[in-house]
Structures are given as C-alpha cells and as structure tokens.
C-alpha cells in the first residue's frame, strides 16, 4: 500500500511470511521452502504516464535470502516494462473499440426494403476486425436499385478510408451515371 501511495520502492526487511499469512491463511510455507516468521520482500510501483496503476511485489521466503541491489535493479526494470506493456494493451484496446465503432457507424446496418425484392447481408472481414470490404444496397430516386460489393486492398484504418471513398463515391456517381459500366469507369478515373 505504501509503495502504491507514495510511488516509491518499499523494502520489507523481514516478516514477509507473516504478511503473506494474513493474506493467505493456511499457506504451506514449508512447501515453498520458507517459514512464516522469516522472509524479505520488495514492492515496486508500476507507473503509467505519471499515474500509479499497480505494484509488483517480490518475496523471498527462504531463510538467509536478502534483497540485493541487483534484485532491486531487476524488479525496477520489470516494473517499467510492465507499465509499457499495460500502456500498449490499453492503447490497443482503445484503438480496437474505436475501429469497432467506426465499422458499426459507417457500414449499412441493414439492407433496404424494396417491394418485390429481398436482400440479406453479413459483413465478416477476412483479416482482423476492419478491412476494406464494403457492400451497398439502396433504392435510388429513379426507382433503380444500387447493389455494390467491393474491397479496397489491405486492412486497418487505411483500407477503411479507401473503402469509404469507394462506397460513397459509387453511391454519388450512381445518382448521375446512366449505366453500371459508366459508373465504374468514372469511379476508377476519380480514385
């Protein structure tokens, strides 16, 4: 608690066994090569972007084992690496949530309802959570039906950006082009 509260490494020079026994009643110290009365320990705070998010604790339960300067240095390095790993995991999770939100917001949620026609669609990107795959189905103002499938090469945000250009470009061009061939020719020329 002190290591977390102060942000400073805390050495526990003796009595770690008694502390652990309080947390884990019935702990078999003999099986761990130690005894309930002995042991030393070290607690190192894990800091992420200026705020403490946890601690790493190391204990020696065997008699005569002490926390050496080398152990202090090693555990400090491990705390710093743990912070980097947790930071990367949090950033990845935030980016993944953002991508999922974008996919949900930018792709059609359901196909259009057109009298006399039935549509069904399912979006499952082949590689990862987001890719350049897209689909479009819509009733145009003149009564024709726009149905499109496409794939911008790649995965991730770049492919998604290209996919949006293709999808919305095709939609806009469908309103002014007279044939699918003219639409595709114009779309290819603009991109």
Q: What is the pLDDT of residues 65-77, one digit of tens each?
A: 778 889 889 999 9
Paired with 10 in beta bridges are 43
Q: Is 121 helix (H, G, I), strand (E, B) or coil?
A: coil
User: What's the pLDDT score for residue 146?
Assistant: 79
Helix %, strand %, coil % for the chain, to 5? 40, 25, 35
Can you give the pTM of this predicted structure? Answer: 0.56
Judge contact between 135 and 148, C-beta under 8 A: yes
Average pLDDT by consecutive 10-residue portion of the chain (191 residues)? 92 81 79 75 90 88 78 90 91 82 74 79 66 75 78 73 80 79 83 69
The whole-number pLDDT of residue 5 equals 93
CA distance 24 to 61: 14
Nearest alpha-carbon partner for 148 in 118, 121, 113: 121
């Amino acid at each position: 608690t002190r290591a977390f509260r102060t942000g400073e490494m805390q050495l526990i020079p003796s009595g770690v066994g008694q502390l652990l026994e309080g947390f884990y009643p019935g702990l078999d110290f003999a099986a761990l090569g130690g005894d309930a009365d002995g042991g030393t320990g070290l607690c190192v705070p894990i800091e992420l972007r200026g705020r403490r998010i946890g601690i790493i604790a190391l204990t020696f339960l065997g008699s005569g084992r002490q926390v050496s300067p080398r152990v202090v240095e090693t555990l400090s390095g491990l705390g710093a690496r743990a912070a980097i790993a947790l930071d990367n995991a949090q950033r990845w999770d935030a980016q993944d949530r953002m991508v999922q939100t974008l996919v949900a917001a930018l792709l059609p949620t359901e196909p259009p309802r057109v009298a006399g026609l039935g549509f069904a669609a399912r979006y499952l990107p082949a590689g990862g959570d987001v890719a350049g795959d897209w689909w479009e189905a819509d009733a145009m103002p003149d009564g024709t039906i726009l149905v499109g499938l496409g794939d911008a090469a790649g995965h991730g945000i770049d492919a998604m950006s290209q996919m949006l250009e293709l999808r919305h470009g095709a939609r806009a061009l469908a309103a002014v082009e007279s044939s699918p061939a003219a639409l595709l020719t114009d779309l290819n020329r603009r991109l």
